[in-house]
Structure 1
């Protein structure tokens, strides 16, 4: 937004407008917290746990001991399981299914 409207310079007023706009969306959209939990459980777990461990495993696989390989593989597996479980439970919450 700053690149488009402020020639790439820092703009405090534009940032305030964006924060207020996002806050308004969060207040006005019904069940926004359910959508937020869906994004957090699927995308954020993959970005925060699975991908860094997978990239570390790919880049350093020849230099890692079996402990390091097992730790990276465990992080990838644990992150994938948590992402699937979180996405499933968020979808149940969104569609109102009682488990």
Structure 2
């Protein structure tokens, strides 16, 4: 799928959610063990962040904080290179919890 199509799809989802009164919170994709895929993901992450910023929607960038993270890399290496283990999912949860989750829930 092209970056333009991905942007449009996310924009449509967020606009539909807004129209129906649903608050949105977007969590971006994490990096993989595949450098070529990571190059494409970086472009997608930038596009998603831009779409969210234009709509004032919280966007959690999981890509850049985890790209060089030792535990993330270890978890990917121990598995299939795309899905982390328990520690890796814990890292994603930490990013979500510290990137606006409580504000989004209005706590």
TM-score by length of 2: 0.29
The structure carrying a bigger helix percent of its residues is: 1
Point out the structure with the larger strand share.
2
State the structure with bigger RCO (CA 8 A, min sep 6), 1 or 2. Answer: 1
Larger radius of gyration: 1
